[in-house]
Every structure is written in structure tokens, then in C-alpha cells.
Chain A
Amino acid sequence: MGDTKPESELLAVSVDGRSVAVAQGTLVWDACEKAGVYVPVYCAHKKMEPVAVCRMCLVEIEGTAKLQPACATRVAEGMVVRTATEQVRKFRDGNLEFLLVNHPLDCPVCDRGGECDLQDFTLRYGPGRSRTSITEKVHFGKAIKLSDKIVLDQERCILCWRCVRFYDEITGEKEIVLQERSVKTLIDTFQGRPLQSEFQGNVAEICPVGALTHAKYRFQARPWDLRRTASVCPKCSYGCNILIDAREDQVARFASNDNPDVDDSWLCDTGRYSFPELNRSDRVLNPEARLAGARQTVSYQDAVARGAGALLRVRGDHGPDAIGFLASTQATNEEAFLLQWLARDVIGTPHLDHRLSALAGIAPEQFALGIAEIEDCAAVVVIGDEPELADPVLTLRLFKAATKLGREVIRQPLEGDPEALAESLTGKDLVGIVAHQEQRQAALGLAARLALKGTTTKILTIVEGMNARGCQDLGLTPRLLPGYRPAGTPGRDGGEILKAASAGSIRALLVVGQGWDEDPRFEEALSRVEVLIGITPFAGSLARHASVLLPGRTIAEKAGTVTNTEGRVQRVRPAVQPRYAFPSDLRILGDLARGMGADLGVQPLAGPVYELISQAVPGYRGCIGGVRPDWTLSA
């Protein structure tokens, strides 16, 4: 809650004898939390309106005859709240007994076991003895596949309404609804039809019990076997904060890790359920090098020495122009920065990129609008379907702006008339424009039209790929140096690099990441070059064709930072240990440079490299914990 107001505007509330000062409008539940008093609740959820249906959070408030729901009652000056009285204790015990009247005793086979609020609260506040054995339990459907992602157990449902409210308040899709009434009330879809939403996983996450579970996590692990690490979802450029739950060397699931400025605690299914990609078994486990025509396992030092030697040889024979660098967008900022340093400063080639198509005329202004700032715009124009297809969680922010804040959200088809649109938006305080990078000309055009009419605009450009934005910011592009300074000699973009490689003018390639196996030009180029240094975690054309192959890390194994589409710098942390004992991608790049006689000046570790980034791009300084760089500093 916004307690940043001056002291005089705060209300004094006492919770179990502890005094707290909270803003007007604060819920008693939040005031209790602030006072360090935990109040159990099932139905309340910070992102949704209070409903007060579970009654778990009833507390005593001096001056009111009945117990009051802490989750739905607003504080008043001088309010005295008591949560630990005999009356409250007895009610919690009784209410938990009610919840158990019709709850199946299948904890041993329930996926929620160990992290179930019903288990936890019963243990802490509930009856020690069952008096419900004499009653017949009401039976409902079990293990209903609502989709290939979500499994529903209607008997375990305690009807907290979170999933129903999620589908009503957060997505508006209303896929899961309440049906029937009384003790027969249940949650279901229309005629049991499958869920279609892109946001289904959230309902399993917010379910306080084992009613809605993830199909992909079913019977996979127990929570106490999992190690939890805060990181960033790798699937797109939105930068949703996640918690990676890992069991040994496997990622068991992604969970959300609320960042109100980015994901607002919601994940899309594309991202959430992308984790099996990280568990692929076809890992590159050993350094290899091509010796006398055949690839063989070599030592790490040997592989690095051979790689550095090969690059120097090609440069010596054909000049730096004969060498190209490519990295996928899962490269961290530190890797991207080191890679562009390696290309430009160590080798001296301008041919480097993180994408296969050209990207001209990008500038920080095209990223002025922050994700959360969408809520501050009087109107938001989304150009085409591409932004929401690329970064699905954007849809939820737009829905929130429209429904909770009354903002006008306009989805402008690509073929729409920009002048008519500009006309209709004239006079608005602030118009946000959201466009995919490929349609940024349309965004700029609309902004120019609105500027002529005196309307202020801010653009949010959606880039493609997890750290595409960081790669751009830090100069892993052929035309721009770190911080969007123009390169003296523009190089070839990714597509041109592949073309030149196929044609023979580029003779050596260094490729980091998973590459572009879906693009036939990629394999074609790889098969043609004399020297191919590949740093990659998985089997694929890169691993197949590399003359020097080094095991790379997945995003779940890396430390460093990435930058999301709005420019926010966020940390990724290693959540699982790689199954081999070889250095990180960053260290490999540093060792290659050293092998070519270059000195980075610092250790190739995320922290020191970020310091180098901050020197090159001043806006990045101090942004490591989720801050958007101020681009006026870098000008």
C-alpha cells in the first residue's frame, strides 16, 4: 500500500497491541501484515478485489459486535484490531473444520501437498481431531483435464473464487466460472469445454489448495525437494520475473515473482511452460575440436587455444572483415557486451548481430513508454496483433488499464487509417503507442501525426527475444555501438553475415547460443565457413558444424543481467548447476580474448563486466536491480 504519504495523512492502527501508521483506504489485512501479524486467508489476493468469502481472516475490531473480515475492511483512525483472541482462535478452528467436512483426504497423492494453505492452516489453526467422519462427503469430479496444461479436482476446491476472479478481473475471459449453489457449488468451464486462455497457468499458481494443478508438474516433485531461484522468464522480451524451482539439475517449474512494474504477478503459458526446453537431454557436454577432419573431445584449454588461434589465422590471412559474430537473444548483457568488444576491439570486425534481419534507425525514444506507464496514458494504441503475440502478458496490462483504470485501449489494425485515429485521439493528455519493432515506422508515423495536433505520445517498442533489447542497448548490432552511438564503419547485419559466409567472403564465425535452426540460411552458412566457433548448450546445427565446440549454458544456469523490451535491467541467476564442469559462456569469451592476446582488464564475471558496461553506457550504472536506464545520460 502506498504509505509514502506524509505522516499527518496516515492513520494510526493498533494490531494486537502493536501500533502501525497506514494510509487511508488500507485494508485491515495489510495493516496486520505491516504490524508483523500474519492473518490466514484463502480468498484474498493482492491483485484482485476483496470478496471475503472464505472468512478465514475474521478478526475482532473494537467497537463492532461481529468479527470482521480483515481482507475487506478498511482501516479507520484509532482502529484497534485483535487477531489472537479466544473468539478468533475458536472461529478459525471451526471454520477449518467446515472446510474439511467435504475435503477429500488425498494429501498423499495431491500435488499441492507441502505447500497447501489448507494443510498449513489446519496444522497451525485447525482442529486437532476430526469430528466430520460421521458425515457423508459430497463428491465431485477428480483429475479433470481442463486442457493439456491444467488439471482440475473439484473435490479439493475450497471455493475461494480466486480462479474465477482471475478469469473475470484479470483476463476477462470468464473461462472458469462458479456453477450450482449451496454445498453443490463447484468450479467448471462451460459444458466442461477445454480452456483456451494463454494465461491458464496462473490459476494453478493462485489456487491455495490442490484443486487446480499444472499438468506438467503433476507428480513430478514435492516442494521440499525444490530449490527456488529468482530470475527472468526467457521466453520473450517482456521480462516477467520468475522463480525457478529446480530439483537437482532439472527445472521443475516456473512460478511468478511479482514485479508490479512488469508482470504484475502474472505469467503467460508460453513462458511458464517453456521450462522443459531447459531440461533437454541433448546437451553439449564436452569441448570438441575438429582434428584432421574428424571432431574429437579435447580439453577446455585446448579448445579455447584452437578457437583463438583459428580466429587469428583467418584475420591474418583474410583480414578482420572475414570474421562474423552472432549471438542469440538469450545472451546476457554481459555476454553481449563482451562479444561486441571481442568483435570490434579484439578482432576489429564490424560484422556482428543478434538477429538475422536488418534493423535500421532504432533509437531510445522508441522505448520511452514503460510497461506500467501504460496505466498512466489516457489512451493506448496497440498497432496490429504482433505486440501481444510476441509478449503475451502485455494483454493483461492493457486489460487492467481498460477495466480497472478506465483507459481507452485501441487495437489499431495494421491497415487502419492513422489520420482518422490521430484525429480521434486529439486532445488526450498522453497517448501511449505500442508497436512491434517491425512496425515501428507506423508507431513513429502516428506519433508524428499526433505531435502536429499537439498531443503528447510515448512509444513502447516490443522487441523479439529475451534480451534483444539488451543486445541493442549494448551494441551487439552492426550499425550501433553501445549506447546507440553510431558505428564508424557499419557492418553486416545477421542475414548479411550468413549470406557472406555462404558466399565465402566471411570465413570464420563465432556463434553463441542456440542459433537459428529454423532458418535454412543458418545451416547453409555454417556448413560453408572454414572456422566455426560454437558456444552452445544443445545439439543442433551449430553443435554439428562447429570446428571448435564449447559447452554453453542455458539461461537457467547463467548469472548476469538482461534488459526487457521497455529497457529494464533485471538479474538472471543460476537456478541449476550445469552437468559439466566447464566455464561459463562469459568466461569462455574472456578466455578466447586472452588467447588472442587481448586483456579485458577485469575478470570475465557478471559483476566486473557490468561495471565495464556502466562505463561505456552511463545510463546503465546502478540499474542492475530492475531499473530502466535514463537514456539522456548516454547521449
Chain B
Amino acid sequence: MTDDVRELLERQARWQKSRKALSWSEKVRLAEAIRESILRLREAREPKSSESRAEPAPTRR
């Protein structure tokens, strides 16, 4: 492991530790933000109802 990688991991560990030390209400607010992101991602993945109901375009013969 290079010094750069070790330093990066140590910084990450410090950040994670500081996050754990936040108050419960602050951490709940973060969880709310995570939740909103998950819901938006789910919505983006699901096909829109208008798309799923759309009939195929008529073909010219």
C-alpha cells in the first residue's frame, strides 16, 4: 500500500468517525437525504405509466 492510499484511507476513517459523532437528529437528517435519493433513483428506474401503456406506432404497409 502506498503512502497516498494509506493517507486516503486514514482521512476516510477520520471522516467516518466524525460522522458517527454527530447528534442523532443530524444523523436522522442525513438518513432522510439518503432515503430521498433512493426513492428518486427508484422512480427514475421504473418506466413511466404513460410509456408502459403507449400503443406501438402504426406501421405503413
Q: A and B from one assembly?
A: no
